[in-house]
Amino acid sequence: MSDTVPRRAALSLLGGTLAVVAAATGSLALAPRAAARGRRPGAAPARTPRVERLLRALTLDEKISLLHGAPDPAALGEAGYVPGVPRLGVPPLRLADGPAGVRVTRPATALPAPVLLASAFDPDLARRYGQVIGREGRALGQDVLLSPMVNLIRTPYAGRNFETFAEDPLLSADLVAAEIAGIQAEGLIATVKHFAMNNQEKDRMSVDVRVDERTLHEVELRAFEAAVRAGTGAVMGAYNKVNGVWACENEALLTGVLRDRWGFDGWVMTDWYAAHSTDRALLAGLDMEMPNGTWFGAALRKAVDEGRVAERYVDRAVGRVLAVMDRFGLLDGSAPPRPDRDAPAGAAVALEVAKAGATLLRNAHGTLPLGSGSLAVIGPTGALPFVSGGGSAHVVPDHADSPLEALRARARGEVTYALGEDLFGRPIPAGALTPGLAEEGTRVAAGSTWTYDGTLTVGEADEWTFVLHFSGAPTSRPKVRLDGTELFPIAPGWGESFRGGLIGTTPDGLAVRRATLRLTPGAHRLSITAQGGTSGLLFRLRHATGATRAADVAEAVRTAREAHQVVLFAYEDATEGQDRTTIVLPGDQNRLIEAVTAANPRTTVVLNTSSATAMPWLERTGAVMQMYYPGQEGAAATAAVLFGDCDPGGRLTQTFPVDDDHHPVAGDPRRYPGTDGVEEYSEGVHVGHRWYDAQGVRPLFPFGHGLSYTSFAYDDPTARWTRDGLEVGFTVRNTGRRAGVDVPQVYVGPSSDLRLDQPVRVLGGYRRLTLRPGERRRVTVRVAPRTLSCWDTARHGWVLGTGRRTVWIGASSRDLRLRLDAAVGDGNAGRA
């Protein structure tokens, strides 16, 4: 089980010191897709006669117009558009985000965040999730989907951890392959992204990720390779550099790995504004610049005219785009007609995924399922639908209910509600502000300027949060000054572009900015200048203080005390374009949870968060349910799992650390967020749960953890080496009194035949199953040879880790219940 690479693939993946030695031999082991099609990796895909004819008929300018984005005349609201060439019957391409549903101006099914899908550990569900997006994308006039995202969860801070799947390469690979199959089965072209190493948002536009060849292949690239094997039509290059070279012009990645090694025959586009050159990028293997033509428009024409780029490279890129269009029937009208949306079917899958991924982290004293007694719902996100994260994964949902409504609809006893934390502020009392501001807000007519000069009188020293609500573009917001200091200055660069999906917008759709400062007693001068711009402006200035916050907590405590049981909704609002700086819940939520759990220990905390959270209050809670961003059916799903209408079927796809000091990138700025523009992937192959095992660090919750309302026992393990890998068998029994979902996991230890620093254990496989009370089922999990292999940097290929290896079967990476030895590679069976 080893293969070697063509010479080209041995191009240095690294700038400078870590450069890989060129492959000594020219022998090839074919990448599966290339092999299946009987062609050599690296060779241009066999173009159909239709594509050849088109290439001959297109003018150079027409060809270039197919290699970059342009504004969409139909303005459907998608992220990108490539005009077609009507004279030759080449239709335009519309490219829409994204990972949790189709992001256009019109509503679409807002599916649960991909991390919630991944938590179900169910490739078949991923396929159906992909099918919903595939059908809707086509129904909404789109041709290409800018998804799935498969960059690994490497740091708990990364702003897009909700948008991707997991910290584990195998799980990510399984899911991306299944989702792409689903998307493309509906005729929408998938784009796996962001190739590669876009594992953090901090400095994403500039950071240079240094990673060694073995780590790259064993860790981050595995899911991308699976996407290529699944036939993804397109790949999106990342913003960052990899080993000193921009990902979007990285020949080692775009040609060496993608084409030569894996036999990819689709096209590579940039992330949005991620191109950096013309000839360099085109020759390195980039095919399309998005969303405009800064480098691949007039500049490309000039490069060809001046002889810096041979036209055959333009043809190569155009040929790749056209070949995919042809494969999807877009060139000869053979694509099936665009379907109508099937909103009820989309909603059903959205509900199913949110229930299947709901991850019960703790359940003490039978707190869950909820009983029929009175219920207090607490927290701002209890009454607000928290559908999705921010950035390009945001979808306009068909509808969205609040958990409070869903819990009320389901509960038998009385349901009360307390806000607990005021996210959007209250009007500044008339007595404190002279002259007063209109409570409902101020409208400034188009073309006019509105000014205000007043006095804010503060009675006692306190911490004030000013909350500005405004319509229109972020940069057109009013200027608000307190004692001469601007409260909401415009952030430079892309700083204003990305805000969270929830707390960045008021329930009635206005943008929000917050500023917190300590105010001394006495009079403060407040001045406002607001411009109506071209379409008018509506704004409100609200506030919260230490005193109002204390009052909100006190009311929550009263409400909790009077109820039999409590569900407290906690939030954290992530978006692409920025990372968190801590895993502590934002705002005063820890204080709220401490106070409420002290008042009523039968409190369930529901986490609508993007990724890992520190839980200093964990032991005081009755239960903790991780729901991430659950999509438009999230409220119904949350109510269903809390009341036990279904078993919470999710398991963690990432390790939750105890705090900010105990996780793979803690305490080493070179590792994260990087120093002097360089981020070192120095944990090597020990990503995620592997790092906790290698370092002997106790997590708060391990990878693979998630409770059921019933219990399961495993026994009778066997292991048998076959040509297709290691077959691990065991029996799972539901030992409780309810039907429930289990996800037993198989882990495999290192091979002593390989003299390499290997993980303590890797995830070998898993199986999701539903069992009735008392039911037993024999399960077989096949651990693929790839999972049992390491990347050999001398031969630039995979080498199987043969010999006796330990196999564990467990309910998480730390709840390993059965252990046996198995022989890998010699045909022997192993038994416990």
Active site residues: 271
Burial 746-761 (b: 16+ CB within 10 A, else e): bbbbbbeebebebbbb
Contact string 736-755 vs ligand BGC (x = CB under 6 A) = --------------------
- When the beta carbons of 98 and 382 are compared against ligand BGC, the nearer one is 98
Count Cα neighbours of 644 within 13 Å in the Cβ-side half-sphere: 16
- How distant, in Å, are the alpha carbons of 530, 595, 652 from that of 155? 41, 30, 15
Select from 251, 352, 576, 647 the one that contacts ligand BGC (CB under 6 A).
576
Select from 33, 81, 97, 304 the one that contacts ligand BGC (CB under 6 A).
97
| Residue of 525, 426, 532 lying closest to 476 (CA atoms) | 532
Instruction: Establish if 173 lies at the interface with ligand BGC (CB under 6 A).
Output: no
Number of CB atoms found within 10 A of residue 696's CB: 7
| Residue of 774, 775, 802, 781 lying closest to 718 (CA atoms) | 781
Instruction: Establish if 269 lies at the interface with ligand BGC (CB under 6 A).
Output: no
Q: Whole-number minimum distance, CB 394 to ligand BGC, in Å?
A: 10
Instruction: Establish if 326 lies at the interface with ligand BGC (CB under 6 A).
Output: no
Asked whether the beta carbons of 96 and 146 are under 8 A apart, the reply is yes
Q: Whole-number minimum distance, CB 230 to ligand BGC, in Å?
A: 19
Q: How far apart are CA 459 and CA 652, in angstroms?
A: 48
Asked whether the beta carbons of 147 and 126 are under 8 A apart, the reply is no
Instruction: Establish if 603 lies at the interface with ligand BGC (CB under 6 A).
Output: no
Asked whether the beta carbons of 161 and 114 are under 8 A apart, the reply is no
Instruction: Establish if 100 lies at the interface with ligand BGC (CB under 6 A).
Output: no
Asked whether the beta carbons of 403 and 410 are under 8 A apart, the reply is no
- When the beta carbons of 20 and 192 are compared against ligand BGC, the nearer one is 192
Region of residue 330 (phi > 0: left; psi between -120 and 50: alpha; otherwise: beta): alpha
Interactions with ligand BGC, residue window 180-209 (CB under 6 A): 193
Q: How far apart are CA 826 and CA 723, in angstroms?
A: 10
Interactions with ligand BGC, residue window 772-831 (CB under 6 A): none
Instruction: Establish if 575 lies at the interface with ligand BGC (CB under 6 A).
Output: no
Strand partners, 678: 208, 675
Instruction: Establish if 579 lies at the interface with ligand BGC (CB under 6 A).
Output: no
Instruction: Establish if 78 lies at the interface with ligand BGC (CB under 6 A).
Output: no
Select from 146, 467, 614, 707 the one that contacts ligand BGC (CB under 6 A).
146
Interactions with ligand BGC, residue window 480-539 (CB under 6 A): none
Q: Whole-number minimum distance, CB 624 to ligand BGC, in Å?
A: 30
Select from 250, 363, 392, 603 the one that contacts ligand BGC (CB under 6 A).
392
Which residue type sits at 42? Answer: G
Beta strands in 645-751 (DSSP E): 678-680, 712-722, 725-734, 740-742, 745-748
Instruction: Establish if 143 lies at the interface with ligand BGC (CB under 6 A).
Output: no
Select from 272, 328, 569, 656 the one that contacts ligand BGC (CB under 6 A).
272
- When the beta carbons of 146 and 188 are compared against ligand BGC, the nearer one is 146
Q: Whole-number minimum distance, CB 209 to ligand BGC, in Å?
A: 15
Asked whether the beta carbons of 388 and 631 are under 8 A apart, the reply is yes
Instruction: Establish if 68 lies at the interface with ligand BGC (CB under 6 A).
Output: no
Number of residues that bind ligand BGC (CB under 6 A): 9
Instruction: Establish if 421 lies at the interface with ligand BGC (CB under 6 A).
Output: no
Select from 51, 54, 79, 175 the one that contacts ligand BGC (CB under 6 A).
79
Select from 265, 271, 572, 633 the one that contacts ligand BGC (CB under 6 A).
271
Q: Whole-number minimum distance, CB 248 to ligand BGC, in Å?
A: 12
- When the beta carbons of 272 and 466 are compared against ligand BGC, the nearer one is 272
Instruction: Establish if 98 lies at the interface with ligand BGC (CB under 6 A).
Output: yes
**Residue 762 CA to its chain's centroid (Å):** 22
Q: Whole-number minimum distance, CB 91 to ligand BGC, in Å?
A: 21
Q: Whole-number minimum distance, CB 497 to ligand BGC, in Å?
A: 8
Count Cα neighbours of 733 within 13 Å in the Cβ-side half-sphere: 8
| Residue of 367, 761, 705 lying closest to 568 (CA atoms) | 367
Asked whether the beta carbons of 723 and 783 are under 8 A apart, the reply is no
- When the beta carbons of 392 and 718 are compared against ligand BGC, the nearer one is 392
- Residues in contact with ligand BGC by the rule CB under 6 A: 79, 97-98, 146, 193, 271-272, 392, 576
